[in-house]
Each structure stands twice: as structure tokens, then as C-alpha cells.
Amino acid sequence: MYIYCIEVNRMKQNIGTFIKEQRTSRRLSQTEFARRAGVSQSIISNLERGRVKSVTAVHAEGIARAVGMSLNELAGKVDF
């Protein structure tokens, strides 16, 4: 008898999709989320719309703080 172990590789989520899901689940406007993250509303908007694909380390730290995660936790969930 053979037992096969299949490892499921979970793909990381796009940062913009993650932000939008987190923001809307908290019922926050882009402006309020941006304030909590310490970034501009235009950065949040551009990330959510896919116009910007990556963030700076400072922005990533702010986004992590806004969703109540450490930077390491956020990095495990999203592509920067």
C-alpha cells in the first residue's frame, strides 16, 4: 500500500486585492485606511486598481499596522 502526500502550495495574494478585502471588511474608506497606514489615499487606490504592483518597505510596514499584522505576517500572505 502506498500513501502519497500531496503538498498544496498556497499562492500569495496580490497586495492590492489583499488591501481592498481587508479595508472593505473593516468598512473603511480608502482615505481612512490610508490614514491608518500612514500613506496617501492615491497609493491605496493605485494598489487596489493594480496600477502599482509593489510597495516600499515603509508603506508595507504601514499597511501591516493598519490590518493588525506584523510585517512578517503580511509578507507571508501577499506578494510585494
pLDDT tens-digit map of 6-32:
334 467 899 999 999 999 999 999 999
- Rounded Cα distance between 5 and 3, Å, is 7
- Rounded Cα distance between 75 and 60, Å, is 9
- Rounded Cα distance between 79 and 54, Å, is 8
Rounded mean pLDDT, 49-73: 95
- The pTM (predicted TM-score) of the whole model is 0.82
Q: Would you state the pLDDT for residue 10?
A: 60
